[in-house]
Amino acid sequence: MADGEPTGGSNAPLTETMLGAPRHRGMRLSLQALPSLLLWWLAALPIVLYVGNATDPVEAVRMGRALTAAAPNALLWTAVVALALALLWPPFSASIRLGLARMSEALRTDRGPLLRAIAELRNFESAARHLEAGRAANACRDHRSAIAHLIRAIQMERDLLAAHYQIGVAFCELGALQQATQAMTHVVGLDPTHAFGDALLRLARARQQSGDKIAARDLLVQHQKEHGGNRKSHHWLGLAHLALGDRDAARAALEVAASKANKPRTAEENWHRAKARVLLWRLGATR
């Protein structure tokens, strides 16, 4: 492994200090959150009108009519702003699509498995049941709850590799890079193919975001060789090569990420393709 390896070696289990509360890198509002915010605002608008004008129904009606009259202009300006953003920042449309896809996934996610796993834990506690609860909580994007269950699973059975992977996933999603790196280093050290290479890819991304350029590149190259790579991994590999000043290698990786697909792309693939195309344009490549 490259410089920056956590102490204890790649096979060292997570320590209690590393399983503590994650340290966030700061709150950033991404464009992918805009669809969710707009939906919540629209849903809250009738409640705001009711609460603000409960004592004066006539005024509430007037406000409603004023909003209705202003809606066409608001839609027009929204379209103008969206067009301007799409021209100034080409991945904008891909970002909106990704945000909508994630919002749809969140709405469609079944919390039944999580509730059943928690109910079963009330009757009998085991590492396997805490792992199932943690996995279900991660699927529901309830990563803090997942971490609590996965910590308990690891305490009860420290060699439970799936629990180390799932807690690494939770830390990755929360942006706790130090904990994510240690968890995924442990997993990859024991099984580089775990989760069909996702543990390796997540470790590479955590290294990349931590500023460990060489380790990130080496891990992404390893992922490409052993798992073939995908648009996301090639996009990140291109960034890793750029960070190290290897423009030719970066261009080769980005061309794979930006290539046309014979089948429909997912919203995430479309996002990484859009980002790769912008980077290629900046490198002077033409597509």
Domain ranges of the chain: 111-219, 230-287
By three-state DSSP, how is residue 37 classified?
helix
pLDDT > 90 in the chain, percent: 56
Q: Which of 20-34, 61-75, 173-187 has the highest mean pLDDT?
A: 173-187
CATH 1.25.40.10 is held by the domain 111-219: yes
Q: What is the mean pLDDT of residues 240-248?
A: 96
Q: pLDDT-derived band of residue 81, with 50, 70 and 90 as boundaries? A: low
Question: Whose CA is closest to 188, among 221, 223, 154, 155?
Answer: 223
204-233 pLDDT per residue, tens: 999 999 999 999 999 999 999 999 989 999
Q: Find out whether 184 and 206 touch, Cβ atoms under 8 Å.
A: yes
User: What pLDDT does residue 159 have?
Assistant: 95
Residues 6+ apart with CB under 8 A from 247: 241, 283
Give the C-alpha separation, 263 to 156, whole Å.
45
Give the C-alpha separation, 285 to 132, whole Å.
47
Question: Whose CA is closest to 16, among 187, 147, 138?
Answer: 147
Question: Which pTM was predicted?
Answer: 0.74
Of 8 and 109, the structure prediction assigns the larger pLDDT to 109
* R_g over Cα of the chain: 23
User: What pLDDT does residue 29 have?
Assistant: 41
CA distance to 12, 127, 180, 230, per residue, from 20 (Å): 17, 19, 12, 33
Q: Find out whether 97 and 270 touch, Cβ atoms under 8 Å.
A: yes
User: What pLDDT does residue 50 have?
Assistant: 59
Give the C-alpha separation, 134 to 140, whole Å.
10
Q: Where do the DSSP E strands lie in 17-175?
A: none
36 pLDDT higher than 90: no
48-57 pLDDT per residue, tens: 655 655 556 6
